[in-house]
């Protein structure tokens, strides 16, 4: 077990995460296997049962563990640990803080925050998920965590105190105004907010105007209800597999963009064009940046080497748009997504509004890569 957890920390660090001593201690101390006692599905859909001889090896991989499906669609999980580590570092959890978590999942993330010294309240809309998280925390002997079944959009207005931090562990379209009412004046909300088919993590503090910074890329399961509402600035949903595309622009880079840099281009494209989303290509596992036409069946797809595939009645136009976006990003020095500042505005369901991304601007003295 000690070897498995040591290897676990090495895997997290290999993903480019600089673990603080406190985070390393928390990940080493909290037994992740106790939070998936009934087994889980891997990212590829294969099932891992508790009696599998390699169960612990699978648990202590730097990967998401899917714990609940609706049909074939994942609706609850334990997130990828390296992403959790980045978010916890950005959250800057310190002993004595009160943290509100929207989305309990397995309870593992709440356990890590409690191990860091926070008092945690976690809200999940699914009663069975909340119940299993409570049981897991009790099994692991983790104190200082309260699990509540309820609507995360509302937060917990009945609490007679304010939270120092609010962290969201489900993909959302925007931030609930209720969260800022329940936050201390110098508090922080950290949430994965939909953008061009992904959920980059945004950090926002109370203020006028409402602004946010980009923390890191991520992909989360999408929330339902007000937190997942479509709005005037929404990008198209994932295009799925786009068939019948042909190359309309050749590769422009001898060495394709690595994953991080390709995500930077993707983020910029989403800031500049409302039809940006993700699409898959036949026979390929990797998803790509797409500019989807109004029919939802054509447009242009950008590959990491800068080549463009296009199809549909407006293939030429979307090829030109994709080329212009790549040129613009290159001309600006390939800004990383962390260099963006996001202006928020109220939108979504009029009866339950949310703060959604509305304006993007590159910060002066951009964030380094």
Encode pLDDT of 178-217 as tens digits: 999 999 999 999 999 999 999 999 999 998 889 999 999 9
The hierarchical CATH code for the domain 246-331 is 3.30.310
Q: Is residue 69 very low, low, confident or very high in pLDDT (cuts 50, 70, 90)?
A: confident
Catalytic residue among 76, 79, 82, 234: 79
Please compute the mean of the pLDDT values over residues 166-173 and round it to a whole number: 96
Q: Where in the chain is the domain with CATH 3.30.310?
A: 246-331
Scan for tokens 């509302």, then name that residue: 154
Please compute the mean of the pLDDT values over residues 126-153 and round it to a whole number: 96
State yes or no: pLDDT of 351 exceeds 90.
Answer: yes
Cβ contacts of 123 within 8 Å, gap of 6 or more: 100, 101, 102, 103, 104, 148, 149, 150, 151, 152, 155, 156
**pLDDT at residue number 189:** 98
Please compute the mean of the pLDDT values over residues 270-281 and round it to a whole number: 96
Q: Is residue 367 very low, low, confident or very high in pLDDT (cuts 50, 70, 90)?
A: low
- Could you tell me what percent of the chain has a pLDDT over 70? 98
State yes or no: pLDDT of 360 exceeds 90.
Answer: yes
Mean pLDDT of the chain: 93
Q: Are 122 and 145 in contact (CB under 8 A)?
A: yes
Q: Rounded CA gap, 329 and 248, in Å?
A: 20
Region at 353 (left for phi over 0; alpha for psi -120 to 50; beta for the rest): beta
Q: Where are the alpha helices (DSSP H) in 54-167?
A: 55-59, 81-91, 108-115, 127-140
Model pLDDT for residues 226-270, shown as the tens digit of each residue: 999 999 999 999 888 999 999 999 999 999 999 999 999 999 999
Q: Which has the closest alpha carbon to 342: 355, 329, 361? A: 361
Q: Are 322 and 302 in contact (CB under 8 A)?
A: yes
**pLDDT at residue number 45:** 85
- Could you tell me what percent of the chain has a pLDDT over 90? 85
Cβ contacts of 22 within 8 Å, gap of 6 or more: 116
Q: Rounded CA gap, 127 and 130, in Å?
A: 5
Q: Rounded CA gap, 96 and 98, in Å?
A: 7
Q: Where in the chain is the domain with CATH 3.40.50.150?
A: 2-169
What Cα–Cα distance (Å) separates residue 324 from each residue in 54, 273, 279, 321, 330?
49, 11, 19, 5, 10
- Count of CB atoms within 10 A of residue 149's CB? 16
Q: Rounded CA gap, 6 and 11, in Å?
A: 9
Tell which CATH architecture fits domain 2-169: 3-Layer(aba) Sandwich (3.40)
Please compute the mean of the pLDDT values over residues 321-338 and round it to a whole number: 97
**pLDDT at residue number 153:** 97
State yes or no: pLDDT of 280 exceeds 80.
Answer: yes
79 in active site: yes
């Amino acid at each position: 077990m000690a070897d498995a957890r040591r290897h676990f920390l090495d895997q997290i660090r290999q993903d480019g995460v600089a673990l603080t001593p406190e985070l390393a201690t928390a990940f080493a101390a909290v037994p992740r296997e106790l939070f998936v006692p009934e087994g889980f599905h891997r990212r590829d859909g294969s099932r891992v049962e508790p009696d599998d001889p390699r169960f612990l090896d699978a648990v202590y991989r730097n990967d998401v563990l899917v714990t609940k499906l609706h049909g074939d669609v994942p609706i609850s999980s334990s997130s990828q640990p390296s992403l959790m580590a980045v978010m916890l570092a950005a959250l800057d959890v310190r002993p004595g803080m009160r943290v509100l978590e929207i989305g309990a999942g397995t309870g593992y993330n709440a356990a890590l925050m409690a191990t860091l010294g926070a008092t945690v309240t976690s809200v999940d809309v699914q009663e069975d998920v909340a119940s299993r998280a409570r049981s897991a925390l009790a099994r692991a002997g983790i104190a200082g965590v309260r699990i509540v079944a309820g609507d995360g959009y509302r937060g917990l207005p009945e609490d007679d105190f304010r939270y120092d931090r609010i962290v969201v562990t489900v993909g959302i379209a925007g931030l609930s105004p209720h969260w800022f009412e329940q936050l201390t004046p110098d508090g922080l909300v950290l949430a994965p907010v939909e953008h061009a088919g992904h959920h980059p993590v945004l950090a926002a503090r109370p203020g006028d105007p409402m602004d946010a910074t980009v923390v890191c890329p991520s992909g989360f399961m999408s929330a339902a209800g007000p937190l997942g509402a479509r709005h005037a600035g929404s990008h198209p949903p994932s295009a799925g597999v786009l068939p019948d595309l042909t190359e309309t622009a050749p590769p422009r880079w001898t060495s394709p963009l690595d994953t991080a840099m390709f995500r930077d281009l993707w983020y910029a494209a989403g800031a500049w064009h409302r039809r940006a989303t993700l699409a898959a290509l036949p026979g390929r596992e990797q998803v790509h940046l797409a500019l989807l036409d109004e029919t939802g069946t054509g447009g242009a797809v950008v590959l990491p080497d800068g080549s463009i595939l296009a199809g549909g009645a407006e293939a030429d136009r979307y090829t030109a748009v994709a080329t212009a976006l790549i040129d613009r990003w290159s001309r600006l020095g390939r800004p990383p997504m962390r260099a963006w500042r996001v202006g928020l505005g109220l939108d979504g369901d009029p009866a339950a509004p949310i703060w959604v991304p509305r304006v993007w601007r590159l910060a002066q003295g951009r964030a380094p890569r």
